[in-house]
Amino acid sequence: MYGIIKSNIDNLPIDEVNVQLYKKEDPEDLLIGVVSTNIHGQYFFADIDDGEYYLKVSKLGYYQTETSSLELSENEYTQLDISLISDPASNTGVICGIVTDNQSGLPVSGAVVALYSVSHEVETLIKLTRTSVEGKYLFGSILPGEYLVKSTLQVEE
């Protein structure tokens, strides 16, 4: 069994997802194996005996998902791609700071601050804000991930 785990928001692969393979047994289901997805959201289970199986998929910041049962045979490879649903109430954070002038070190008021999500070296603009009179900025409700902050100030001469 193999597949790709993607986000329901942007359909991008999710790395480090916990994928558990269970075999339906009586009286209790049997945990066969646990793997984590790679940077491409891929998972793989090999050497599976004949039987009825299902997956439990979880990652912080997403709702846990359990698949329907699948009948598998040991000589068969079955692809099962899964879309994880983002949990907006889970593990959100804050990115904040102060924009200062490179030469004087003083706070910069009214600068545009851009927040970019970074995935596989691709920058995607997420949010924009302006600095306060103290040069402060804040982005709230940020999900775990890799981000980049850029700032600019237009000066009239």
Q: How many domains does the chain have?
A: 2
Q: Which residue has the tokens 């793989």?
A: 44
Same domain, 73 and 15: yes
SS (H, E, C) 105-153: CCECCCCEEEEEEEECCEEEEEEEEECCCCCEEEEEEECCCCEEEEEEC
Q: Which residue ranges of the chain lie beneath pLDDT 50? A: none
Query: Would you state the pLDDT for residue 74?
Result: 74
Q: Which domain holds residue 53?
A: 2-84
One-letter amino acid for residue 157 of the chain: E
| Structure token pair of residue 143 | 């999900």
Tens of pLDDT, residue by residue over 31-43, are 999 999 999 999 9
Query: Considering the domain boundaries, does residue 157 fall inside one?
Result: no
End position of a domain, from candidates 84, 117, 138: 84
What confidence score (pLDDT) does residue 15 get? 92
Same domain, 25 and 46: yes
Q: Are residues 15 and 72 in the same domain?
A: yes
User: The tokens of 12 are what?
Assistant: 């991008």
24: domain CATH number is: 2.60.40.1120
15 & 73 share domain: yes
Residues 23 and 73 placed together within one structural domain of the fold: yes
pLDDT, position 156: 74
**Beta bridge partners of residue 145, listed in sequence order:** none
Residues 56 and 6 in one domain: yes
pLDDT at 127: 94
Q: Could you tell me if residue 139 is inside a domain?
A: yes
